[in-house]
Amino acid sequence: MVVRCWREGPCTVVRVVGDLDVAGAPRLRAELEQALAAPVNLIVDLTEVPFCDSVGLGVLVETLNQVQHMRGRMVLVVGPGMIRHLLTITNLDRHFATSGSLDEARTALGTAA
């Protein structure tokens, strides 16, 4: 799994490529902890994540809780497929803000260029 983070104004973007599973979750958790060092609006791009297990999902839920505690906002970028289905069947789609593209997520957070 590859994780890339960058700042865009008041927003941090985290792009994940590869499986978000028990092997990759610690790397993502470490990157997200670093991104959350200051209050932040967070976009997590999961469009190139073909698989997510319960450990990966747990990292996303934990991060959402931290962001909300810091009074920030978090948007997941997900395409059609496994991640969107996983959020639906676990009813987490009711808790996570999602968008279909990075540009939509930027707009949702009010940080579009």
Q: Look up tokens 């579009």; give the residue.
A: 112
User: How many whole angstroms separate alpha carbon 34 and alpha carbon 26?
Assistant: 12
- Please state, in angstroms and as integers, the Cα–Cα distance from residue 58 to each residue in 16, 43, 93, 113, following that order: 15, 17, 14, 32
Q: Report long-range pairs for 2-9 (Cβ below 8 Å, ≥24 apart).
A: 3/27, 3/28, 3/31, 5/31, 5/34, 5/35, 8/106, 8/111, 9/111
Which CATH architecture fits 2-108? 2-Layer Sandwich (3.30)
Radius of gyration for the chain, computed over Cα atoms and rounded to the nearest angstrom: 13
- In tens digits, the chain (113 residues) has pLDDT values of 999 999 988 899 999 999 999 999 999 999 999 888 876 799 999 999 999 999 999 999 999 999 999 999 999 999 999 999 999 999 999 999 999 999 999 999 887 65
- Which of 95, 94, 93, 113 has its CA nearest to residue 103? 113
User: How many whole angstroms separate alpha carbon 73 and alpha carbon 28?
Assistant: 18
- In terms of pTM, does the model score above 0.95? no
